[in-house]
Amino acid sequence: MASLTILNATGPLPLKATFPAPTDGPVSFAVSGSASSTTAGQSVGVTVMFDKEVIGTCSVFCNTAGSHQTLIPALLAATIPGSGTHAIALVPATASTQSDANDFYQVTLLY
């Protein structure tokens, strides 16, 4: 299995990247990151969009306000419809999701 790192960046969200399709057909995106909430007891996360379509989320529950938490990594399935340039975007999954330069994100394409 081959891999291609598409995004390796710090926040804040939203983050976007484009990449040339190395293949067409079924693929997986490995997504990880971190986020925080200004209010305790909130769910935070990122919604992952591939070519403007939601393919999944990474999330976690924040018990403490202002503490950056590791999002549960996700392996998300998608289909690359052909050659050309494609886009991946990470956007806040909830209104409570806070992201800044202390949050790190990575998206790797597995094909």
Domains belonging to the chain, first-starting first, are 3-110 (2.60.120.40)
Strand partners for 54 = 49
How much is the pLDDT for 1? 87
pLDDT per residue as tens digits for the range 25-44? 999 999 999 999 999 999 99
Res 82 pLDDT > 90: no
pLDDT per residue as tens digits for the range 5-28? 999 999 999 999 999 999 999 999
Res 69 pLDDT > 90: yes
Taking the chain, what is the end-to-end CA distance rounded to the nearest angstrom? 6
In angstroms, the CA 78 to CA 44 distance is 23
